[in-house]
């Protein structure tokens, strides 16, 4: 987004988005991972929940496949079908709600308040698909999560929605973060905080029952670096898609370009390095935590590492974050349609 005579980035100029798209992912090691074999009928269970809420799968087949593939690749060790169904339903609801709020820009503040209320009480009185699916998600979560974990989940979601308007300012070019500011917000804005909630619910692991864990700095640092690894990967692979959706400015690639005054390829290369460094830190703090010799903690560490590997592998193969989009897609309706499967739901 800079011209030949200046290193300054013009945040509000979408006509130069081709410069944000001008990079390849180079030098990133992606390890192939295996699917979860314990819940082979996960897709069928999810489809039942959707049809019960919507009546059909029209317009959702691709999204359902993506959500199921991501879940099966990221949680290979989870045997509890209720827990895995809860995870995939939650992921889909997150897509639906974000899309719904994006589609209601003029009344967005109202709908954010409305959904904060729904999440707080764990129920929606609405009759649209989003409302009905949310109620089914809440029922599923009640099967696997304790009251404490439900409260933790709701607290995180309220915090996420509180930041919603702020992130939209960046997506539209009204504000640009420093790297430190972006990191602090993205750790909250990413899905990571929900993952430990579902893993703890599935395994009945409560870290608070082990003072030696929660008072160990390694516990905080392990989860912090895991969250960074997850959002670094997501931002790298979703940058082009989000740029074409006019959301590329709330993305690590663009933030690096702005702060470092560099081109997109340099920013992408730096992100690859950051992913490798984050993995090194995850392993470092995981090894420190294993010294506690607590079986449930060891399983938690293994599951988080599997999730990070699964997230990276899925991101590298899914058409949802299609990073092979050419610059011609900016002016090609066919290219845009291929790269951007987007679903909108009415109020």
pLDDT digits (tens, 9 = 90+) for 255-274: 899 899 999 999 999 999 99
- Choose among 29, 48, 17: nearest CA to 133: 48
Task: Let me know: does 345 contact 115? Beta carbons within 8 Å.
Answer: no
Position 15 pLDDT exceeds 70: no
Task: Let me know: does 255 contact 241? Beta carbons within 8 Å.
Answer: no
Q: Mind listing the pLDDT tens digit for each residue in 271-309?
A: 999 999 999 999 999 999 999 999 999 999 999 999 999
The pLDDT score that the predictor gives to residue 169 is 64
pTM value? 0.84
- Choose among 197, 189, 209: nearest CA to 250: 189
The domains found in the chain, sorted by start residue, are: 37-339 (1.10.600.10)
d(CA 243, CA 249): 7
Tell the residue number behind the tokens 């690859």, with chain if given. Answer: 272
pLDDT band at 197 (very low <50, low <70, confident <90, very high): very high
Q: Dihedral angle at the C-alpha atoms of 139, 140, 143, 146, nearest 10 degrees?
A: -80
d(CA 56, CA 82): 22
Q: Mind listing the pLDDT tens digit for each residue in 231-259?
A: 999 999 988 877 666 555 678 998 899 89
Task: Let me know: does 244 contact 17? Beta carbons within 8 Å.
Answer: yes
- 65-74 average pLDDT score: 94
């Amino acid at each position: 987004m800079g011209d030949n005579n200046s290193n300054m980035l013009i945040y509000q100029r979408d006509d130069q988005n081709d410069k944000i798209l001008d990079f390849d992912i180079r030098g990133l090691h992606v390890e192939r991972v295996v699917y979860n074999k314990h819940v082979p009928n996960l897709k069928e269970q999810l489809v039942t929940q959707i049809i019960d809420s919507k009546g059909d799968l029209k317009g959702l087949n691709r999204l359902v496949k993506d959500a199921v593939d991501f879940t099966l690749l990221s949680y290979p060790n989870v045997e509890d079908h209720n827990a895995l169904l809860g995870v995939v339903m939650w992921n889909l609801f997150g897509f639906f709600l974000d899309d719904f709020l994006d589609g209601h820009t003029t009344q967005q503040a109202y709908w954010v308040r409305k959904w904060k209320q729904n999440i707080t009480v764990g129920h929606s009185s609405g009759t649209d698909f989003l409302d009905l699916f949310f109620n089914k998600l809440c029922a599923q979560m009640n099967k696997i999560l304790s009251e404490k974990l439900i409260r933790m989940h709701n607290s995180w979601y309220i915090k996420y929605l509180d930041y919603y308007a702020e992130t939209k300012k960046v997506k539209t070019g009204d504000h640009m973060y420093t790297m430190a500011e972006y990191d602090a917000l993205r750790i909250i804005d990413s899905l990571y905080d929900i993952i430990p909630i579902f893993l703890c619910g599935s395994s009945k692991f409560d870290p608070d029952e082990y003072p030696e864990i929660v008072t160990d700095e390694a516990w905080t640092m392990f989860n912090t670096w895991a969250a960074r690894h997850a959002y670094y990967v997501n931002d790298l692979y979703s940058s082009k898609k989000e740029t074409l959706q006019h959301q590329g400015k709330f993305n690590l690639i663009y933030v690096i370009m702005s702060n470092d005054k560099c081109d997109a390829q340099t920013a992408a290369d730096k992100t690859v390095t950051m992913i490798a460094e984050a993995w090194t830190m995850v392993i470092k703090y995981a090894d420190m935590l294993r010294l506690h010799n607590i079986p449930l903690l060891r399983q938690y560490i293994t599951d988080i590492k599997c999730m990070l590997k699964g997230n990276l592998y899925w991101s590298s193969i899914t058409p949802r974050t299609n990073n092979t989009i050419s610059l011609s897609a900016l002016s090609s309706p066919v290219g845009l349609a291929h790269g951007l499967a987007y679903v909108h739901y009415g109020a």
